[in-house]
Amino acid sequence: MKLSIIIPAFNEEKTVGIVLDSIIKLKLPGIDKEIIVVDDGSSDKTSEIIEKVKKRNPELIFLNHKKNQGKGAAVVTGIKNARGDYIVIQDADSEYDPKYIANLLVPIQKKEAEIVYGTRLNRLPNLKGEEAKPLFVLHYLGNRFLSFITSILYGRWVTDMETCYKLFPRSAFENIRLRAKGFELEPEITAKLLKLGLSFKEVSITAIPRGYNEGKKLSALHDGPRALWALIKYRFVD
């Protein structure tokens, strides 16, 4: 099986090299890896760092947006250029450890599911760890609420709709258009995958959330309502 790992990146000069090195070194027995990184118009040294990694690893596919268009646009560019049987999305920051990609593949290899999500939220809030600050408690509660709405609207129990780790067959989007440019991509992908009726499973993972002073871009207050609207809209249209 061939797996396309799509890495959208925007102003991630501090972490993109580390993430790429981890993905390149990642051992996935029986899996042919295809690594696609999309720089979404970064204004820092992100592109320079990706170019350096590519010189050492010519098989790396590097795509570049001249202007910043949003995470959704970067992922769509990656999907259009992917050739794998399956696709998984990996953020270019250090919140998600690539080692969990192997865990996501297990239900696929065992033919237990056709779509696998890595869930961070199949638990109570960790007030001594991830949710130690009010801002991250808000993120936790917002994500749980959106996931609950997803479960009601689409008839599948989902605990972490907003997770970066979404593993799905490339063929799922051969005849489906993704319209999102920004972070509303997460609910759109979820809505359109679940409407296909493919078997779905979640695998528990751990993530290390970063603060806004470290480059975090997702805003619960700004992006949360957009995600809710996307979930409702795509339940009935497109």
**pLDDT-based confidence at 6, cuts 50/70/90?**
very high
Whether this prediction's pTM lies above 0.85 is answered by yes
Which DSSP symbol is given to 191? H
**pLDDT-based confidence at 21, cuts 50/70/90?**
very high
pLDDT in tens, 35-67: 999 999 999 999 999 999 999 999 999 999 999
Q: Print the domain residue range for 227.
A: 2-236
Supply φ then ψ for residue 104, to 5 degrees. -65, -30
Supply the pLDDT for residue 224: 83
Nearest to 224 by CA among 154, 160, 145: 145
Q: In what order do the strands lie in the sheet with 86-89?
A: 61-65, 32-40, 2-9, 86-89, 166-169, 115-119, 200-204
Supply the pLDDT for residue 238: 82
Q: What percent of the chain has pLDDT over 70?
A: 89
CATH number of the domain to which 70 belongs? 3.90.550.10
Higher pLDDT, 125 or 102: 102
The tokens for 122 are 């199949």
The tokens for 233 are 């809209």
Q: Which residue has the tokens 């297990």?
A: 106
Supply the pLDDT for residue 212: 46
Q: How many domains does the chain have?
A: 1
